[in-house]
Amino acid sequence: MSKKQEPGMAYDMSKLNKIFAFLSVGLLITTFWVFLDDYIRPWKAVQLEAMQIRRDKLQEKVEEAKKSIDQEKLAELQAQLAEGEEAAKKRQAEIAALEAEINKIDKDIKEETITNGRLNSMVSATTFKYEIANSHGDANARALLATLRDYKEKFEISRDRMKTLEASMKAKNKALDALRAEVIEAEKGIADITRTLDLLKISLAKTDVTPVFAVRNAPFLDFLDPTLKIQQLVIDKVEDDRYFVSVPKVDRCITCHTFIDQEGYEDQPNPHKTHPNLELMVGTDSKHPMKQFGCTSCHGGEGHRVHDFNSAAHIPQNEEQKAEWIEKYNWHEPHKIPQPMFKLQHTEASCVKCHQGVEHLPGAAKLNEGWDKIEEYGCYACHKIEGWEHKRTPGPSLEKISAKIDKEFFKNWVWSPKEFNSHAKMPSFFAQSNNSKDEFMEKNVVEVNAITEYVWDKAQDYKPFAKYQGGNKERGKELIKEVGCMGCHGVEGYEAESKKVGAYAGPYLTGTGSKVKSADWLVSWLIKPSHYQENTIMPSFRLSDREANDITAYLMSLRNKKFEKLKFEELNKDLRDELLVEYFAAFDTLEVAAQKVEAMSDREKTLELGYRSIGKYGCYSCHSVEGFDGRAGIGPELTKEGSKPLTQFGFNQQHDIEHSRDGWIKAHLINPRRWDGGLDKPFKDLTRMPNYYMTEKEADSITLAILGQVADEVPLKGIKRMSAHEKLANEGMKVVNKYSCVGCHSVDGWGGKVVKMYDDTNEAPPQLNMQGFRVQSDWLYHFLGNVQPIRPWLKIRMPSFNLSTEEKNAIVTGFQAKSSQPTFVANDEKVEWEPGERAAAVKLFEALACASCHTTGFNKDQASAPNLYKAKPRLRPDWMEAWLHNPQKFVPGTVMPSFWEGGESLEEGILGGDADKQVKALVKYILEIGENEIRSPMRR
């Protein structure tokens, strides 16, 4: 304080004032800053952008509408209008007088309305007073009655006056219109032409930035009624877990995704783009309208958060987009979001949330692919997944394995299935990245030996019932392709076709000669598969002995010489004992465990280790082995895998794996053993999930399907609940899928893999579209148990499946339900002809040359269409009619001609050329000729 202030003052006052002024300005600025910071929201910019886009689009439309107006006509009408106005001017005096009168009457009407209204209320009030007084016997009742009647009378008079006034008003208006008739007509004509344009102009005006717009959206004032505001959908069908309670989902995505539900913005960049699949999603007429399902129900993410781009938990679909978003939106990984948005390519995972327990979901191609892959690799066998319990065990039964292959093959195969068959579905457990140390390999060898001994010990004797008598392997090779083996199997020698078909229900047939112990077994298997394994899905193709021997000859000629030479190492007894001690020591001390092992015989030890090893690797989940009935799979349940917190996924030392659920699952599928990398694990704790050598694409598909297994509790009203028909259909499709019917047949667009092998679809297995509508239930049931060829020109055979009665019933009812058809359609009535109808039918049958393809029973030519004599028991009459009207609708690409395309008949001379009548007559004719084929119990 060198500079002395005035007495009593520590500071210079004017300096203090300056500081105060400075701080005040600072506070003012910060106050404005607060409001501005609150006011400026990213979504407002987006909405302004959207407004501009809408404006541009509307302007385009306005231009278009202007162009489409007939200018000549408009000019004409405008001339008329001018003329009319001219004429009206001449009658100006009359018009003015009339208008004055109308004004006068209008005034009278309004006045009378008041009088009338008052009287009306007085009547009501007095009525009440009088009724009460009268019922109580009050003295003034009489006086009140008099008043009431007076009011009533006046009211009536007033009403009458009103009617008079209204009538004269009408008359005057009519007179006025007559005086201005030309003008009115011309105006109406103009409005008719320009209506669209006028409406568009009104819409366009709404996008104007007017002072009103500015005021409504101004800072401070925008709480009143802003036009730029957060838009939201409240979805009560789907709920979110917030603050320990479930509340209806609130999605505000449409705040920025402005045009998501409106057609016409497909060309815009995001977020202004129209949803790419309005027909299925979002669209008002779709199955999932936006107002009922919102956005995050399917896409995931935080739909209620619109703070900025990141707050919604957007997830980029790939590294490229990630880089773009970081650049554009400062994107970062969402924090603490249990379910961030699905990557775009994984969105279909969400379907699982509501559509559970179905075999196939139309419209969800990627999800179906994932489900197919899960089925192919049999993930569900080791990992429980709710809704997959009905699936068959993926691998063949080992109960009679000793009759099929020898031990040496078995061991080498288990050690490395891919070495024998690069298409093997059996995954590799051994010689993987985490167990290829010598120490581990030696132990694995012991385990495989022990497993083999155990399996052979439990295996039942089996004697093939047929003898191989030698065959023509060239013919056999042809037969394999012809009869339809490739609907389920890939086959060596048909590599290109196998790849095209991509069948996986059965194993890829390669090196069979090195695998199968005896040709006798193979012949027996081919003739009657259920003889060897009762529950096999492999059907019989009703092969003749010759055919079976030929196929056997071919398959036995396929050898894998390199694999044959492999010698599997002998069992090391010391290591075996060591492993057993380790197992026993789980509950005993090492010493006691060692004593226990010591007490066992050599054979017992081997079998015990075999038993334990099968349990350890979970072989029994895929293969039926004696001693493991009812044991659950060894993998963790996957039903809710999609909701498992990311922190519970063990990334261990694998830092280059993307840190997300899908990143982990995909990496896991491609190489499950990778997680052991960089860890020091003892032999017994090594990761056991085997390696399927999946491609990235396969892993991606399965990842998608697994991601959909979320724990979200969707309220009952939100879940897709199947109708009775849909349930039956689904049960049927489960059997259809189990036996791989869809390997050959396309069922309403699902499956039909083998068709890809044929250039002409008419040579391929028939498409089963609306099959329940097509065939009679009892016929189908009978057919499934006793297959008879229907299409004689087909080389591929419908095999005879070993179906149980329940399974046959499920298929039949499934198809009926799928086509929403009644189970039975009576077909036992005799055909009743209209006069002359039968003759017309016969004539038509000739004219259309039906018998040129449907030859059977009509001439000796080679048939290239089904036997019409057998149509009656097989087909439903309604279907026949529908089929004749438009065969392409049911079987696209069929050679059956469309004779009545567009309801027009080619034969105008018959039945007056009436398509309906002609079709009916033909169907009757076909039903009549099939009379004798009816063997159903319903026949009278």
Give 601 or 648: the residue with its C-beta nearer to another protein: 648
For the chain, count helices (H), then strands (E): 39, 6
Among 134-142, 239-247, 739-747, 914-922, the segment contacting another protein (CB under 8 A): 239-247
| Residues 6 or more apart in contact with residue 548 via CB below 8 angstroms | 466, 471, 523, 526, 527
- Smallest distance from the beta carbon of 5 to another protein, in angstroms? 8
Among 3, 8, 135, 202, binds another protein (CB under 8 A): 8
Burial of 926 (0-12, 13-18, 19+ CB in 10 A): buried
Size of the site for another protein (CB under 8 A): 29
Give 31 or 460: the residue with its C-beta nearer to another protein: 31
Number of C-beta neighbours around residue 518 at 10 A: 16
Under the binding rule (CB under 8 A), the answer on residue 679 touching another protein is no
Burial of 539 (0-12, 13-18, 19+ CB in 10 A): buried
Reduced to 3 states (helix: H, G, I; strand: E, B; else coil), residue 807 is: helix
Under the binding rule (CB under 8 A), the answer on residue 637 touching another protein is no
How many whole angstroms separate alpha carbon 161 and alpha carbon 175? 21
CA dihedral 177, 180, 185, 188 (to 10 degrees): -80
Give 21 or 125: the residue with its C-beta nearer to another protein: 21
Give 220 or 244: the residue with its C-beta nearer to another protein: 244
| 438-458 helix and 573-584 helix, angle to the nearest 10 degrees | 80
Number of C-beta neighbours around residue 366 at 10 A: 17
- Smallest distance from the beta carbon of 671 to another protein, in angstroms? 20
- Sheet strands (E) in 607-756: 746-747, 750-751
- Smallest distance from the beta carbon of 329 to another protein, in angstroms? 16
- Smallest distance from the beta carbon of 31 to another protein, in angstroms? 8
Q: How many residues appear in the chain? A: 940
> Which residue, chain included where needed, has tokens 């009203």?
717
| Per-position x/- string for 291-330, each x denoting binding to another protein as judged by CB under 8 A, each - no binding | ----------------------------------------
Among 5-13, 318-326, 788-796, 828-836, the segment contacting another protein (CB under 8 A): 5-13
Retrieve residue 735's tokens: 């059997």
Among 236-244, 482-490, 628-636, 787-795, the segment contacting another protein (CB under 8 A): 236-244
Cα–Cα distances (Å) from 252 to 38, 315, 328, 560, in that order, read 18, 17, 21, 62
Give 33 or 824: the residue with its C-beta nearer to another protein: 33
Under the binding rule (CB under 8 A), the answer on residue 10 touching another protein is yes
SS (H, E, C) 468-507: CCCCCHHHHHHHHHHHCHHHCCCECCCHHHHHHHCCCCCC
Under 8 Å between Cβ of 278 and 265: no
- Smallest distance from the beta carbon of 687 to another protein, in angstroms? 16
Among 242-250, 625-633, 673-681, 821-829, the segment contacting another protein (CB under 8 A): 242-250
Among 242, 287, 717, 795, binds another protein (CB under 8 A): 242
Among 3, 336, 561, 567, binds another protein (CB under 8 A): 336
Under 8 Å between Cβ of 745 and 768: yes
- Smallest distance from the beta carbon of 10 to another protein, in angstroms? 5
| Per-position x/- string for 11-40, each x denoting binding to another protein as judged by CB under 8 A, each - no binding | x-x--x--xx--xx-xx--xx-xx--x---
Retrieve residue 200's tokens: 């568009």
Reduced to 3 states (helix: H, G, I; strand: E, B; else coil), residue 456 is: helix
Under the binding rule (CB under 8 A), the answer on residue 1 touching another protein is yes
Retrieve residue 641's tokens: 């895998």
Under the binding rule (CB under 8 A), the answer on residue 243 touching another protein is yes
| Per-position x/- string for 647-666, each x denoting binding to another protein as judged by CB under 8 A, each - no binding | x----x--------------
Among 79-87, 235-243, 380-388, 763-771, the segment contacting another protein (CB under 8 A): 235-243
Give 668 or 808: the residue with its C-beta nearer to another protein: 668
How many CA atoms lie within 13 Å of 427's alpha carbon, on the beta-carbon side?
26
Give 220 or 243: the residue with its C-beta nearer to another protein: 243
Burial 886-909 (b: 16+ CB within 10 A, else e): ebeebbeebebeebbeeeebbbee
Q: H helices within 255-347, ranges in order?
A: 290-293, 296-299, 319-329
Give 31 or 227: the residue with its C-beta nearer to another protein: 31
Among 137, 269, 630, 645, binds another protein (CB under 8 A): 645
Among 64, 76, 241, 713, binds another protein (CB under 8 A): 241
Would you tell me which residues interact with another protein (CB under 8 A)? 1, 8-11, 13, 16, 19-20, 23-24, 26-27, 30-31, 33-34, 37, 241-244, 335-338, 645, 647, 652
